[in-house]
Each structure stands twice: as structure tokens, then as C-alpha cells.
Structure 1
């Protein structure tokens, strides 16, 4: 039986959700599936190994994680978040197993190097050294395969990081359509669901700007982060009072999707966000910025509406269109659901990963 170990050093976020989904599906397929990480969750058929690597300087945590990895004698080691990717690739010569690393995202200071993205933060001196030169050298050292969830980030990996094309595989993210299903269309005002980290690259303020100009719509904001206080203050302004609900993080966001008519994604930069796929699988039309891999999923005018990044006027116009046209919402939502079922399901994603695993094992 093939043994595959997913490696995480962070306890929450998109890479964690993705890794657990992949591990669970692999177990369902008869793979000896393991996850090494700091926050065990309920994943049927998956063996969890609790370990914590608290930061780049946590030598003891890194040693403990590597000892576990060596003892597991994996056939494939698949690392996800950035710290896990460095750990697994640096240790590749002693693991006696091929290493796969999923490049889930690009630092905000380099985000404009991905086609479609805009720069989400100032460049730091270390960004090029760590995320371009360092990524190239550590991947070469490990002879690792880099998986990217979008063609846009594959272009970045080859043209900007300098990885050879043979070392990069595009495997689109996927979600389980049986887990994320359409609910009956809710009554009441048109509700736009936004989910993510409240801060920086996610540009939640753009949604609030657009909402203020479309008075017959409301917003359900799921998440938390450094701009929570700002969102709360803006939500109390006269133009938005009573129209913005902020839930914080939800362990299970499915009930929130069931309360919405539209899914909004306002980011300045993305790879291929799971929130987008989850919402589309729930039958919500997308109102999204055309960044990173988003246009690889959302067909403008078919599955929703795409707008340029950081363009408040275009976002407002698109929100007004979707909020005012129930027929468009119904058609685009049905198409969005079909799009996920046909091209962005968890089954298709894991099919692609298993092909990568077979290739790296030779």
C-alpha cells in the first residue's frame, strides 16, 4: 500500500483545508494516508501526527518533525505551507522519498509578478532572496516537484522563480460537490457573502464601498483579521448601518453560503481560492476580481461577473447588475455549480495529484 504524508506547519487557512481534503480522499481510495501538523482534525481514515514548528528558528520543532517523517518511511512526502515546504525540501536527501510541494500563494510584495494580480504590498529586501532565489535553489537541491493550483502561478514559477517546466505541475484545487451543495434560494434582500482574512490583499473595503452605492443589497462577512475594527466602524456608518453582518471565523461556513445570493471575492491577488470553489459549488454566482487563477474558473457573464482588481467603480456596477437581476443570478449560479462538478471537483484534483505522485516515484 502506498503511504503518502501531507506536511503542515500552520494550523488554519486554505492550505490546511486543502491538505485535509486531499488526505481524506486519498484514504477513501485505499492509500495509507497521513498528516503531520500542529492541529489534528477529524479526517476519516487519516492518521494524524501532532507536531509543531513554531517558526523559522524553531530548531527543536523542526528536528521533531523530521524525526517523525523519517520514521514514517513515506513513499511520497507532500508539503503545503511555505515553512513546511522549506522543511521537507531541505531534508529531502535523508527522507528517502520524493518530495512534492504545493505553492499555494505568492508573498504580497511579489504578487504583481503573477499574471492578473496587482502588487498587494511593498517589496521587502528579502522577498527576492527568499521567495525567488531561495525557492529555486531549495527545489533544485531536493529534486522536488512543485504543484501549482493555477496556470497563472505556474507561469510565475517558471518565468520568475526560474524553475524548469518539468519541475512544475498544474493541478487545480478542487472541492467536494457532495459536501458543498446548493440550498433553497433565501428570501429577503440580496445578500452578498464575502469570506477571508480581513486585511491587506483581500480588499474587503472595496466590497463595503460598492455596497454603500447599492442600497437594496446587504453583506455577510465571514472572517477576522487586522481590519476587523475598521470593518465594524464602517458597518456602523449611515450608508451601511444594519446591512453588514460580521460573523468572525466559522468552523463550518456552509450555513453562511446557504444564506447568500452572491459570492464576492475582492482580492488584489490570488492563486485559486477554495472559498470561490465552495461558493460556486453551493450554486452562488461569483462577483470576483480577475486576478491570478480566478479567470481559469469563473467565465465572465457565464458563472458570474469578473472585474479588474482595485477598481471600485467596476465592482459597484457589477454588484448593481447582479443584485438587480434574479434571472442572471439563477443562471450564473446554476452554471457555477456545473463548472465545479465538471472541472474543479476534489475527485479531479486528487486524480491529478496521484498522477504527480506516480511520476515522482518513477
Structure 2
């Protein structure tokens, strides 16, 4: 097949996932393309035999960029177009009838912050806006029906949102969990550090609630933090990290091009988000043999078993996070046991091969409906 991944983002989980899928499709012998802005993943994709078309639609109002993307998609005559972020999802589905029989697949990577509490376990990450219902519920339902696209959802929790609130046709929704490369993300075998070190990895934005991490860590004086990421809250995080109680214990690493080496420098992983789907960073940490302390939001409890692969806490629960971090920081044997279980969990069902198998089934269904 000729398979095209369509992106409009330069960073974030959808980008990382799209590159992984494009590389995986090339590895399985398909003609694999990415249409989107160049990014940290471009070189890795090209080295694996993926053809990258560096085109960008920077905003929803970027008519020229959108037209260039549309022309390239049509000219490629793809068998499958996989839409990997919200803006890409709108472009590709609106173009569906010009793509002449291509199967259209859209991955719903997440829910708008103003609607996040409609997903089981999630907290409300931002105030509701008037346009949220029209754009993310009514609009999504209309453009999906019009295009005949299949919708892939990486977690059962967000699939419920798609069925109950967007009111998508259940026959067009496929649950395909994200997956990671268990070779690229493998346990390092390093000895425990003193003091124990927790890694946090993500975009420094409101929904990721890094403030909860810092508040909790302040209550665990024997814990060191590695914070990897960039975003609008960086100045606030820098200010907090320099205050008494945290000063000297927090290393701010900025945006990291390749996260794989980070996990070797940590004893445990922390995920403090108010809302999630099936977060790649968590899967990467688990594959790397790290136990996690994570918010019990979205699809996270589907992956991380409380007390087995790590510890779960309600979103925003600073005392709960502090207790969980302190418990794992103080118990190297528990960290080792949970880390081994986390690695096994990934090997059982959350590798790239598992994900690619599921996506290929969705691609086949999309192509059958498009003929």
C-alpha cells in the first residue's frame, strides 16, 4: 500500500506516534509517506525509508498552506491517509471525496481541554468555551459522517467519549492502543541513584499539571527530579524550582529530541496530567523498566495496574502523589519489582508491532468502505 501520515504539528505525542507508524509501515514493506512540517522525527523517518514532504499549515486560517497540503495529498494518490492531529483531521476528511477511493483514518489522540472531564477519570483541564461543543462534538460528528472516515482511538476511555458525546457510529470506531519500540526503550540496568530520581516528561502546559509534581516533590525531601519539556509554563516552573524546598533538587532539561536515554537516568517516572488518552511517555517509561506514579485519568488505568506496574493517584491529589513518590523513592525492591512488571506489560500488548497490527486492520476496513 501507499500510506500517507498527515501532520500539522512540529512537536507532541501525535508527531511522535506518526513517525513511529510511518517507520513501522516502511519496515513492513509499504510505501510510506509523511506530509507535514519537518521536525525532530524527520531524519529518523527518512533513514528508515519514509518519504517526507515538508509542507505546513500553521493555523486553521492558513489557506495557502492548507491548499498546498491538499494538492500534495491528491497528487500522491494514496491507498490510505492517516490523519494524526486535529487540524490534519479536518483537512483530510474534508478532502475525502477528492482522494479517489483512499481509505481515510483519523486518530483521536485527545479531547479538547474544555471537554476533558467528559472522559472517565479526567479532570476539567480548562474552562468550557461556547465553540467547544460545535467544533469538537457536532463538527467532529458531521465531518466524520460526511467523509466516511474511520476513527482510531488509543484507549477505551476516550472511545466512550467518542461514542457517547461525539455520537460516532460504533462500526467506524476502532480501539488501537499506542505502542513503543521495546528495543529502543529497554531497561538500562543501571544501579539505583542516591538520592532516588524521578523523571517527568511532557509539554509544560496547564493540562500536564507539573505544578502537582513540584508541590508533591517538595514534601519528599529525599527525591531528585528531572523535568524534560518546554512550553508556556517554563518561566513559572523555573521560578518554583529555584525556591527553598526544591532548590538544588530539580534539573530542567528543556525539550529533548530523543527521550530514550532519559529513562536510564531515572529510578521512577511521574505523570501528573489532569487528562490523558494513552500517553506515549508512560509507555516508554514502562518499556524502559521504570515504575510510575501516575494520575488515574483517561486510558492510564487501562495500561498501568495500580500496585503492580506502579501507583495511581486521583488527578490533582498532591498529598496522594507525595505519598506515592515517597513510597517508591524509599523502596528499591518495590521499584525493581514494579519496573519488571511494567516492562512485561508493554511486551504483552503495547509494542509498536501490536499497534501496527491494529492499524493495518483499520486501514483494510477504511479501504473496503472507500471502494
Structure 2 CA distance for aligned equivalents of residues 185 and 121 of structure 1: 41
Q: Aligned match of 2:75 in 71, 95, 120?
A: 71
Q: Which runs of 4+ in 1 moved over 3 A?
A: none
Aligned length: 361
Deviations 1:294-329 (A, max 9, x none): 001000000000011111111111111111111110
| 1:359 CA drift (Å) | 1.2
| 1:186 CA drift (Å) | 4.0
1:353 aligns with 359
Q: Aligned match of 1:245 in 237, 246, 251?
A: 251
Tell me whether 1:201 sits opposite 2:207 in the alignment.
yes
- Contact 1:186–1:259 (CA under 8 A) maintained in structure 2: no
- Contact 1:78–1:101 (CA under 8 A) maintained in structure 2: yes
2:17 aligns with 18
| 1:238 CA drift (Å) | 1.5
Gaps of 5+ in 1: none
| 1:55 CA drift (Å) | 1.1
Structure 1 CA distance for aligned equivalents of residues 364 and 59 of structure 2: 32
Gaps of 5+ in 2: none
Structure 2 CA distance for aligned equivalents of residues 285 and 140 of structure 1: 41
| 1:185 CA drift (Å) | 3.0
Deviations 1:103-141 (A, max 9, x none): 001110000001110101100111000000000000001
| 1:225 CA drift (Å) | 1.3
- Contact 2:193–2:267 (CA under 8 A) maintained in structure 1: no
- Contact 1:104–1:149 (CA under 8 A) maintained in structure 2: yes
- Contact 2:23–2:50 (CA under 8 A) maintained in structure 1: yes
Tell me whether 1:256 sits opposite 2:255 in the alignment.
no
- Contact 1:180–1:281 (CA under 8 A) maintained in structure 2: yes
2:279 aligns with 273
1:4 aligns with 3
Within 5 Å, which residues of 2 pair with 1:90-105? 90-96=94-100, 97-105=102-110
- Contact 1:285–1:336 (CA under 8 A) maintained in structure 2: yes
Q: Aligned match of 2:89 in 59, 70, 85?
A: 85
1:334 aligns with 340
Deviations 1:181-211 (A, max 9, x none): 1112342211000011112011101111111
- Contact 2:84–2:107 (CA under 8 A) maintained in structure 1: yes
Structure 1 CA distance for aligned equivalents of residues 364 and 159 of structure 2: 20
Tell me whether 1:316 sits opposite 2:322 in the alignment.
yes
Within 5 Å, which residues of 2 pair with 1:221-240? 221-240=227-246
- SS of the counterpart of 1:39? coil
- Contact 2:199–2:269 (CA under 8 A) maintained in structure 1: yes
Taking structure 2 as the reference length, the TM-score comes to 0.96
- Contact 1:186–1:258 (CA under 8 A) maintained in structure 2: no
Structure 1 CA distance for aligned equivalents of residues 193 and 119 of structure 2: 39
2:59 aligns with 55
2:220 aligns with 214
Structure 2 CA distance for aligned equivalents of residues 310 and 186 of structure 1: 28
- Report which stretch shifted further, 26-35 or 182-191: 182-191
Taking structure 1 as the reference length, the TM-score comes to 0.98
- SS of the counterpart of 1:12? coil
Q: Aligned match of 1:112 in 99, 102, 117?
A: 117
2:32 aligns with 33
Structure 1 CA distance for aligned equivalents of residues 195 and 83 of structure 2: 43
Structure 2 CA distance for aligned equivalents of residues 53 and 232 of structure 1: 32
2:144 aligns with 139
- Contact 2:33–2:53 (CA under 8 A) maintained in structure 1: yes
- SS of the counterpart of 2:336? helix
Structure 1 CA distance for aligned equivalents of residues 326 and 58 of structure 2: 45
Deviations 1:209-250 (A, max 9, x none): 111111111100000111111111111111111000001001
Within 5 Å, which residues of 2 pair with 1:174-193? 174-183=179-188, 184-193=190-199
| 1:255 CA drift (Å) | 2.0
